Amino acid sequence: MSPRIVAVTGAFGVLGEVVATAAALQGARLALIDHSPVPPDGLAEACGIDALVLTGVDLTDPVAANAAIAAVAARFGRLDALLNIAGGFRWQTLEQGDPAVWDLLYATNVKTAANASRAALPLLKASPAGRIVNVGAAGAVKASSGMGAYAAAKAGVHRLTESLADELKADGVTVNAVLPSIIDTPANRTDMPDADFSAWVAPADLAEVILFLASPAARAVTGALIPVTGQT
């Protein structure tokens, strides 16, 4: 079997980097897509000499999303899995918060996934095992104080996942989402220094679930919103 072609959006972030590196270790050929102008040191090398690195891509713009996926097609000739990891988070109460944050989080979470998915559909339909994996949030199932804008955006990702899974069922393309609780990242540790980090989800563990859903073995799973909330 030829190597899987996998595109990772938000590939320069903590989770994206872990997912991309793990996919490369499984033999995938990678397209790394991110809004940032500079990838993390060593990421491209860890993903293989033929990894496609696309910087400065604004996936909230459908034209930019189309161009990014066109570059993937030009490099690899096909696409087997799209991992929509690009997203954003803000904590704010409704009373004290900035109304513009609602638009920001909708754009960075829902529009990025929708635009990348739309652009990738022709390639994924042509794959014998086309896969889309989105990143939702456990906090969007039941939101707490300060999580309104973020939870609303991630709830949009959940509904996108379900709707697109039904839309693509006849085409053999599966669409699923992982719903992590707090991910153990340096930024989260800085923001919550007194938390019990052992109760958080390790990026590597979340990556394992994402990559299973992106694999041919997950052919019978679609439209699923899978909680990934750690071991404690």
Catalytic residues: 150
Query: Residue 225 forms beta bridges with which residues?
Result: 177
One-character DSSP codes across 109-163:
IIIHHHHHHHHHHHHHHHSTT-EEEEE--GGGTS--TT-HHHHHHHHHHHHHHHH
84 DSSP 8-state letter: E
Structure tokens at 179: 């719903």
Helices 112-126 and 148-168: crossing angle in degrees, nearest 10, is: 20
Question: How many angstroms separate the first and last alpha carbons of the chain?
Answer: 38
Q: CA 184, CA 195: separation in Å to the nearest integer?
A: 11
Q: How far apart are CA 38 and CA 35, in angstroms?
A: 9
Tokens representing residue 145 in the block: 């104080």
Q: Hey, CA dihedral for 113, 10, 179, 142, is it positive or negative?
A: negative
Report residue 69 as tokens.
């996926």
Q: 175 - beta bridge partners?
A: 132
